[in-house]
Amino acid sequence: MSIMTPQENVTYKQYWLTDYSAWDGVQDFWEDFSSDRLLEPFSFSDGIDIEAKHIGVRGKQKYCSLGIPATLNPGEEKEFTFILTWYFPNRIKSWFGDDSKYNHETPIVRNYYSKLFKDAWDVGKYVIKNYSRLENETRKFHNALFSSTLPHYVIDAVASNITVLRSNTCIWLEDGTMIAWEGCHDKTGSCFGTCTHVWNYAQTVAYLFSFS
C-alpha cells in the first residue's frame, strides 16, 4: 500500500519504530511531531538495528506518516488531498470460498490490473495524474443515474447493487476473464464461484460497459 499527496510542501516519517516495546513508535512519533509540528523522515534511533525498525514486528507491521503543514485562521477552511492506494496482484486459484483449504503451494492467478501497474506507488501516480478526469467522469455517471426519470426505488436498487462489481466479490483476471463469488465473507468468498443463478453480473457488466 502507499499514501501520497499532490501537495509539494509535505512532512513525512518514512517508517515508525515498531520492533521494540509496543509504544516506542508512538513515543518517537509524538516527540518528533510535538517539537516543531514537523516530521523527520527517519526514526530518532537510526543507529539501532535499522532492519528491525524497517521490517516491524514479525515482518508484518509497517507504519509511516505523511502530513501537509498549513496555518489556518479562525473560521478558515482548507482542503487537503491524500491518495491511498493498494496493489495485490495475486490471488489463490480456488473454487471454494474457504481459503483455509489452501497453502503456499496452491497455484495463484493474477488480477487484471497487474498488467497496468507495477506497484501501489505506480497506482498512486496514475490517480494523481488523472484525478480531475476520474472525478469528472464519476460525477457524470452519478448525475446521469440519479437525475433520470426512473422511479426512485429502481434507482436505489440499481445504485445499491452495481457496487458489487467493484467489490471483492468480482474478479477480473489477467487474461480478461471475469468471474465472481456468490458473495463475500470478511476474509473469503462465499460459496462456489461464478453462480449466475444468484445474480446476473454478466448482464450488468454488458449494460454498463458495452464494447462495440
Q: What is the DSSP string of 123-139?
A: HHHHHHHTHHHHHHHHH
Q: Which domain does 76 fall in, by range?
A: 2-83
* Coil vs helix vs strand at 18: coil
Report d(CA 93, CA 103) in Å as an integer: 11
Predicted pLDDT of residue 140: 96
Evaluate the CA torsion angle 59, 61, 65, 66 in order and state its sign. Answer: positive
* Whether residues 62 and 97 fall in one domain: no
pLDDT of residue 155: 93
Domain match, 106 and 183 both: yes
Query: 3-state class of 33 per DSSP?
Result: helix
Do 56 and 98 reside in the same domain of the chain?
A: no
Residue 64: per-residue pLDDT:
87
Set of cell numbers at residue 162 = 452495481
Cell reading at 198: 444468484
The total number of structural domains that make up the chain: 2
Type and span of the H or E element at 90: strand 90-92
Inter-helix orientation angle 120-129/131-146, to 10°? 70
Domain end (from 66, 83, 100): 83
pLDDT of residue 102: 73
CB neighbours of residue 18 within 10 Å: 23
- Do both 31 and 76 map to the same domain? yes
The answer to whether residues 135 and 150 belong to one domain is: yes
At 7, list the grid cell: 501537495
Residue written as grid cell 477552511: 77
pLDDT digit string (tens) for the chain, length 212 residues: 999 999 989 999 988 876 666 677 888 889 889 999 999 887 655 544 444 444 444 455 678 899 999 999 999 999 999 999 999 999 888 776 566 677 778 889 999 999 999 999 999 999 999 999 999 999 999 999 999 999 999 999 888 888 888 888 888 999 998 888 888 888 778 887 777 677 677 778 777 776 64
- HSE-CB of 31 using CA atoms within 13 angstroms: 12
Q: Name the domain boundary from 64, 83, 102.
A: 83
Among 51, 68, 83, the domain boundary falls at 83
Query: Are 50 and 105 found together in one domain?
Result: no
Q: Are residue 10 and residue 42 in the same domain, yes or no?
A: yes
Asked if 204 and 165 touch (Cβ cutoff 8 Å), the reply is yes
pTM above 0.85, yes or no: no
Integer Cα distance of 129 and 55 in angstroms:
30
Burial of 201 (0-12, 13-18, 19+ CB in 10 A): buried
Domain shared by 53 and 10, yes or no = yes
For 102, the grid coordinates are 489452501
